[in-house]
Structure 1
Amino acid sequence: MTFKTLLSVVDVKQNDDDLNTAIALCAEINAQLSVVVIAIATLPPLGDYPIGTADVWLKDRHDDLEALSKRVDAVETMVKNADISATVVDEYPEPARISRVIGRHARYTDATIIGSSLLRHDLMITTVVDGALFESGRPILIVPHGSKPTLRPKCVLLAWDSGVECTRAAREALDIMISAEEVHVTLVDPDTSSIVSGPEPGADIAAYLAHHGVKTTVDRLPSGGKAIADVLKQHAIDVSADLIVMGGYGHSRMRERIFGGVTRSMLDEPRLPVLMAR
């Protein structure tokens, strides 16, 4: 699909790196930018607390909202100076509601940008990713520190395992891949059973993409005992990919959080921009 709107989630205490990334991407493709400036609400005291505790909570809440208002003003100034079409809203959710809040905003954009500052935010990253992927049905664009993000890449690596998640990712990135000079459909230790991948793993998706004018190469790689995520990352570097496209959370979220997985590894240690869908 063609990306016409992008979502950027900005924490009230966060620096401007992620916002600058979002602005640059929107300028590149002439897209609308939707910015959600978020502060995590200070929870009210519960149970028996000394007299005055409620006053402290009210003071903390007042300070939170004041900081949020100032951050919104600063963000509005930045997007105005950038001369792009943008909307800026603020949110003050309790921790348990962050995912739902992000999901609600993400539904009305084409992708949510997960920048380097957000990737380092231990409290926010999991809830924002959960909200953007599971509460919206939209993809996320992971942009690690030091990378050069673009939505007009010359070379794309499509991580493929014939699953529903990577099928969705391929569909979301179709216009991007059509415009690319080359797309590497990459399978690691592919399942050769006909019920999963057909007699020639990767051939079906390559044919589908070719019908849309995508210039594809199918790469079938052995893991050699290495983690699949590591093989994908290294191959992306070897073929000079500008973007990795992949499905997210092929296993349950709980399983991946406990035991790890390709999705978890891509979030924890990305090397290149990753467009992820579920």
Structure 2
Amino acid sequence: MVPRDLVVFLEERQPWSGRLAFAASLARHWQAHLIATYVAHPLALDPHAGFAIGPALAQVIADRDAASAAAQEDARAAFAGLTERRSFSAEWRVARDDTGEALMLHARHAALAIMGPPYRQRPEPSALGMAEQMILACGRPCLLLPDAWPGDRLPRRIVAGWNGSREATRAIADAMPLLAEAGSVHLVVVPEAGTVVPHGAEPGADMATHLARHGVPVTLEQCRGDDAGAALLARCAALDADLLVMGAKGRSRISEVVFGGATRTVLAQVSLPVLLSS
């Protein structure tokens, strides 16, 4: 089923223009409702703010509010320019001081959440620093997009990781609208990577058959080695892939995120869009 609504998170002090353009391209392609959620930068994340006292603190707050309002207006103007007189519907939201479950609700009310690159690749903290928690806890597929990714480069060459797990199954199911429209899909299996799920005599063959039945132009690749994350990234580079699809294995609490090895490797090194489900 083609998604009918998407949410894209725009962060005040992080690059967002390419992310917004990509989300608008995808919404136009699917004729889906586009929700832009602008995430204001919390004062608590400004290190110098903690040193201000008395009148200085009031001035810091006033300056921050003025800068935040100007940045928000710039983002909203860009959003209007991309969405007015378009064939899809759109709405603008502002998340000010939303954290934890409140921020996740924006994702839970849409079929796909589009965010920036993994937190560990960012130069400074942001309100969406909990995005990795969102991957594991929001209940929706999350597409993490590099800041410099072209807004019109939609997925045509896709690499999908498969290890027989529940998380990988969910990721492939969530990505099916993209997989079915792709020019090529490479289903990558690393049998020696230590998965506890039995693959059978021909690892990945059953999932490749399942995808083919749904019209996916799939090629099964069985890769050697014991590092699934590195193998996936290597195939993405060799194929000049537009998207990596994989399950995110881990445990999330509001105060703690623990990822499995392959997920951890990908989040630290990935340089292309990655769709993660848990």
Residue type of the alignment partner of 1:272: L
Specify the alignment match of 1:129 in structure 2.
132
Alignment partners' CA distance in 1, 2:189 and 2:152? 24
- Secondary structure, counterpart of 1:271 in structure 2: coil
- Secondary structure, counterpart of 2:99 in structure 1: helix
Q: Could you tell me how far 1:107 is from its partner in structure 2?
A: 0.7
The yes-or-no answer on 1:144 pairing with 2:143 is no
Specify the alignment match of 1:237 in structure 2.
237
Q: Could you tell me how far 1:221 is from its partner in structure 2?
A: 0.5
The yes-or-no answer on 1:7 pairing with 2:11 is no
The farther-off stretch of 260-269 and 101-110 is: 260-269
Residue type of the alignment partner of 1:205: M
Q: Could you tell me how far 1:59 is from its partner in structure 2?
A: 4.4
Alignment partners' CA distance in 1, 2:3 and 2:161? 20
Taking structure 1 as the reference length, the TM-score comes to: 0.79
Specify the alignment match of 1:91 in structure 2.
95
Q: Could you tell me how far 1:220 is from its partner in structure 2?
A: 0.8
- Secondary structure, counterpart of 1:229 in structure 2: helix
Alignment partners' CA distance in 2, 1:117 and 1:78? 24
The yes-or-no answer on 1:265 pairing with 2:269 is no
Specify the alignment match of 2:115 in structure 1.
114
Q: Could you tell me how far 1:208 is from its partner in structure 2?
A: 1.6
Specify the alignment match of 2:78 in structure 1.
78
RMSD: 3.2
Q: Could you tell me how far 1:54 is from its partner in structure 2?
A: 5.8
Q: Could you tell me how far 1:140 is from its partner in structure 2?
A: 1.2
Specify the alignment match of 1:164 in structure 2.
166
Specify the alignment match of 2:176 in structure 1.
174
Going from structure 1 to structure 2, the CA distance change for 1:178 and 1:24 (only over 3 Å counts) comes to closer
Specify the alignment match of 1:213 in structure 2.
215
Alignment partners' CA distance in 1, 2:123 and 2:28? 26
Deviations 1:152-201 (CA, angstroms, capped at 9, x unpaired): 53322110011111100000011211122322111113479996222321
Specify the alignment match of 2:47 in structure 1.
none
Going from structure 1 to structure 2, the CA distance change for 1:117 and 1:56 (only over 3 Å counts) comes to farther
Going from structure 1 to structure 2, the CA distance change for 1:261 and 1:58 (only over 3 Å counts) comes to farther
Deviations 1:22-69 (CA, angstroms, capped at 9, x unpaired): 3333334333221222224335xxxxx99x936554544444444333
Q: Which runs of 4+ in 1 moved over 4 A?
A: 54-59, 116-119, 148-152, 190-195, 253-257
Going from structure 1 to structure 2, the CA distance change for 1:165 and 1:120 (only over 3 Å counts) comes to same
Alignment partners' CA distance in 2, 1:206 and 1:65? 53
Residue type of the alignment partner of 2:170: R
Residue type of the alignment partner of 2:215: G
CA contact (8 A) 1:5 1:110 kept: yes
Alignment partners' CA distance in 2, 1:169 and 1:149? 23
Q: Could you tell me how far 1:143 is from its partner in structure 2?
A: 1.7
Alignment partners' CA distance in 2, 1:17 and 1:176? 19
Going from structure 1 to structure 2, the CA distance change for 1:214 and 1:171 (only over 3 Å counts) comes to same
Specify the alignment match of 1:189 in structure 2.
191
Residue type of the alignment partner of 2:251: S
Specify the alignment match of 2:251 in structure 1.
252
Residue type of the alignment partner of 2:21: N
- Secondary structure, counterpart of 1:183 in structure 2: strand
Unaligned runs of 5+ in 1: 44-48
Alignment partners' CA distance in 1, 2:99 and 2:79? 24
Going from structure 1 to structure 2, the CA distance change for 1:55 and 1:2 (only over 3 Å counts) comes to farther
Going from structure 1 to structure 2, the CA distance change for 1:20 and 1:153 (only over 3 Å counts) comes to closer
Going from structure 1 to structure 2, the CA distance change for 1:42 and 1:181 (only over 3 Å counts) comes to closer
How many residues in Structure 1 have an aligned counterpart in Structure 2?
263
Taking structure 2 as the reference length, the TM-score comes to: 0.79
Q: Could you tell me how far 1:218 is from its partner in structure 2?
A: 1.4
Going from structure 1 to structure 2, the CA distance change for 1:10 and 1:74 (only over 3 Å counts) comes to same
CA contact (8 A) 1:166 1:247 kept: yes
Alignment partners' CA distance in 2, 1:108 and 1:203? 34
How many percent identity over aligned positions? 24
CA contact (8 A) 2:164 2:197 kept: no
CA contact (8 A) 1:35 1:89 kept: yes
Residue type of the alignment partner of 2:90: A
Alignment partners' CA distance in 2, 1:141 and 1:90? 20
Going from structure 1 to structure 2, the CA distance change for 1:209 and 1:76 (only over 3 Å counts) comes to same
